[in-house]
Structure 1
């Protein structure tokens, strides 16, 4: 009886160790397959060009009552801004990399050169750290790519000098962009919202800045029926 019991416990222990080894090997293999790509600079599938509707950002900031510092004052002061660049984000087909080089720094001269498109110094620094370091490009190359991506997208004329609040549906905004940008497919653009305001228009582009579909980004679009576009400030 003792021998049988001891033998049984030995078999059970061996089986548990074998199972743990198999599971551990599978987990290690899976993690290794992911780690070879996750947050590796330049290893991504496409870009998302995010265009923020500046009046919505500024109205939200005013409601929160925070001064926002110099960055917010530059964007929400007297100069009229409509759509501004939030960022150009490397993406995977599912998910995205971020902070691929936390030790990287951005030269102040490069930052100031981008203020016409991204009118907030803090935003520019953050976009480089969080997204630009994952592009596989140096700082100058990354921001030159942002400028090229922005130049490749036409803004519908009805949004450029919006003088009064405008009520729109997300589909209407998408259709306006699709109409004026030949080759932009419906699944390559997504409108996002913050409460009842239009927040951003996100457009997916290949690494060579051609429009391309992006189902995951498209699924994250705003589902509200109607949105408000506050008017352009100042000006």
Structure 2
């Protein structure tokens, strides 16, 4: 079992959230609101369900990109293309200053009561929300409620060519795949049975949701290799 699937076995909803990538420089306990840009992360649900078919919602998956989270990042360096602050302190969303606080159950319920939010996240997102807040939201620099409201507010940053729909259930060359998305994107793939699958797409943006183009080296998780890439269909 490789690193990707071992991490998923621990928590399928966290999308390997607890495992650090080999070149990741996670600045744990960094001051909140101190970052260069954001990665709006979305997961292609059919790939996720292919890897973890017993997960809630995977009995009838949809051909959609679900929002995984909004992740603050520092610019890449020559040593690392994956430099996130994590579990930040002195967060505006906490009543504690020296630790990364937990998500309020009240805020969680409020977010889930918003149909716009529920439509863009996976089914039964409770664990996901708790993890996203504690690891990434504490670094965001806003209240807990504002962090999850921005899942909706910044969702417009997720856009791609309508031609993408033509390749669902098919394979295409990685370079062709990249042309279907804007230039401020980074990709994550998954390997299974000798095939490469599109897993996640990261849209690099500023706090207003505008494209961030000053870092073109970001790499989160398994890098997509220059070969045929499959886009599974539900």
Assess same fold via TM > 0.5: yes
Residue 154 of structure 2 aligns to a residue whose secondary structure is helix
SS at match of 1:73: coil
Contact 1:173 1:191 in 2 (8 A): no
Match for 1:102 among 100, 103, 107? 100
Match of 1:115 in 2: 118
**1:77 deviation in Å?**
3.2
Question: Counterpart of 1:216?
Answer: 217
Is the counterpart of residue 194 in structure 1 residue 190 in structure 2?
yes
The answer to whether 1:45 aligns with 2:36 is: yes
**Number of residue-to-residue matches in the alignment:** 179
Deviations 1:75-115, CA, capped at 9 Å, x for gaps: x1335241111111000113111111532323231341332
| CA 1:52–1:105: 2 relative to 1, 3 Å | same
Query: 5+ unaligned residues in a row in structure 2: which ranges?
Result: 1-26, 77-82, 89-98
Counterpart contact for 1:205–1:212, Cα < 8 Å: yes
Give the structure 1 partner of residue 56 of structure 2.
73
Counterpart of 1:172 (choices 156, 173, 176) is: 176
* Change in 2 beyond 3 A, CA 1:103/1:78: same
Q: Which position in structure 1 is the counterpart of 2:92?
A: none
User: Per-residue deviation at 1:50?
Assistant: 1.1
Aligned residue runs from structure 1 range 143-182, under 5 A: 143-159=148-164, 165-178=169-182
Q: CA RMSD in A?
A: 2.5
**More strand per residue: 1 or 2?**
2
1:190 and 1:85 map into 2 onto residues whose CA distance is: 15
Bigger Rg, structure 1 or 2: 1
The unaligned stretches of length 5 or more in structure 1 are 1-34, 179-185
| Residues 99 and 216 (structure 1), Cα distance of their counterparts in 2 relative to 1, 3 Å cut | same
Instruction: After the TM superposition, list the runs of 4 or more consecutive aligned residues in structure 1 that deviate by more than 4 angstroms.
Output: 218-221
Decide whether aligned partners of structure 1 residues 210 and 145 sit closer, same or farther in structure 2, where only a CA change above 3 A counts: same
Which of the two has greater helix per residue?
A: 1
